[in-house]
Structure 1
Amino acid sequence: MVLSLAVIGALVGAIYIFIPHDDSADAEKSAVKTVDYRVEVITARRAAPYAVAAPEGLPKTWRATSVSYKASDDGKGGAWHLGMLDPEQEYASVEQSDAPARKFIREVTLGATKVEGKQAVGSKKWDRYKGDRYRALVREESGVTTVVTGTAPYGRLADLAAALVAKKG
């Protein structure tokens, strides 16, 4: 029995040594699939009743990981989503909707609440929100609420917000 255990142990050791495995940061980066959102943003800009915001000019170290636009049946409450990983592999997303702002903000920020202070993004001021899991920058404009949210720090959320260009298709 001891001899059988020794043989099995040697076999497991050989498998571990000779089978490639990568625990590096590059392996973590490649574990999340990157998506191309160009077609989806064009489609959303045609379908949405508001100007859809998408980043332009972000460094290639920002990677899009999810994208969607869900129209509502009544023409109100359509939602745009673009999820990304920032250069430090923290999550950040752009969320937009013409649905009632309070409910929409609560949903996309996972219950974050407004905190004191504003975040300067270019010439505009965005409200800051903080929750147990997500931070967020929120801008309410006529007919649309834009939320930049995620686990990334406020500075990188502001970088993403600064790169947003809103267009109607």
Structure 2
Amino acid sequence: MQRFTEGFRGYVAAMLICLLGVFVFLLVTPQSREEHIPRIDYSIDVANMRRDAPYQVWTPEPVPADWIPTSSRKTAQRGVVTWRLGFATAKGADGEREHVMLAQSDEKPAAGFADRMANSNRSVGTVQIAGAAWEKRQREDKDQRSLVRVLPGSVIVVTGTAGWDELTAFAGSLKQQPKATS
């Protein structure tokens, strides 16, 4: 028995046994070829924002087809109410999804919030969406495009890796929500 565990032959035999074990493990382990993106329900955050935010809240209505809501986070710190709502877009021609985030806040100054969310303070133009002017910003090194709209008392930023057409369509789907009554 000692000869089998010594030398090159023993090493090769041990490696083959290990590789056989890995192969069997991979063979019996379930493998999913489908993507799984966790879908969240952000309706509670919308209700809380309608009640708590001192500004009019905007939500996408309807959410673009095949988009998946992936994150929602409401914060209220030092008198500033902020909401971030993230989506995975529909699959593009390349089979990949992009990401889009809607961010709203009453932070002062509004430009500081917009600069942070857009990762840029440089305007690359404006676009009219549903009769309102939105500022376009782009940060090419991060493949990030943003649309910024400053409202009285708040700012809305639509940002992400999606193309301008998807960002524009998403911004066009935003509807102002009525303030909740207590």
Runs of 4+ in 1 over 6 A off after TM superposition: none
Hey, what does 1:39 align to over in structure 2?
Answer: 44
* C-alpha distance in structure 2 between counterparts of 1:114 and 1:49, whole Å: 28
The alignment's TM-score, normalised by the length of structure 2, stands at 0.81
Question: CA separation in 2, counterparts of 1:116 and 1:149?
Answer: 14
> What is the rounded CA distance, in whole Å, between the counterparts of 2:171 and 2:115 in structure 1?
19
Find the counterpart in structure 1 of residue 85 from structure 2: 82
Per the alignment, residue 72 of structure 1 pairs with 77
TM-score by length of 1: 0.87
Alpha-carbon offset, residue 95 of structure 1: 0.5
Measured in 2, the distance between the counterparts of 1:84 and 1:56 equals 14
Matched, 1:118 2:121: no
- Please say if 1:105 is aligned against 2:114: yes
Q: Percent identity?
A: 29
Query: For the residues of structure 2 that align with 1:102 and 1:126, how far apart are their CA atoms?
Result: 13
State the Cα distance separating 1:59 from its structure 2 match. Answer: 3.6
**What is the one-letter code of the residue matched to 1:116?**
V
C-alpha distance in 1, partners of 2:23/2:74? 49
1:53 paired residue number: 58
Partner residue of 1:141? 151
Q: Which structure would you say has the larger Rg?
A: 2
Task: Report the Cα distance in structure 1 between the residues aligned to 2:77 and 2:26, rounded to whole angstroms.
Answer: 52
- For the Cα contact (< 8 Å) 1:71–1:78, is it kept in 2? yes
- Distance in 2 separating the partners of 1:115 and 1:107: 14
Offset at residue 117 of structure 1 (A) = 2.2
Distance in structure 2 (CA, Å) of the matches to 1:6 and 1:66? 46
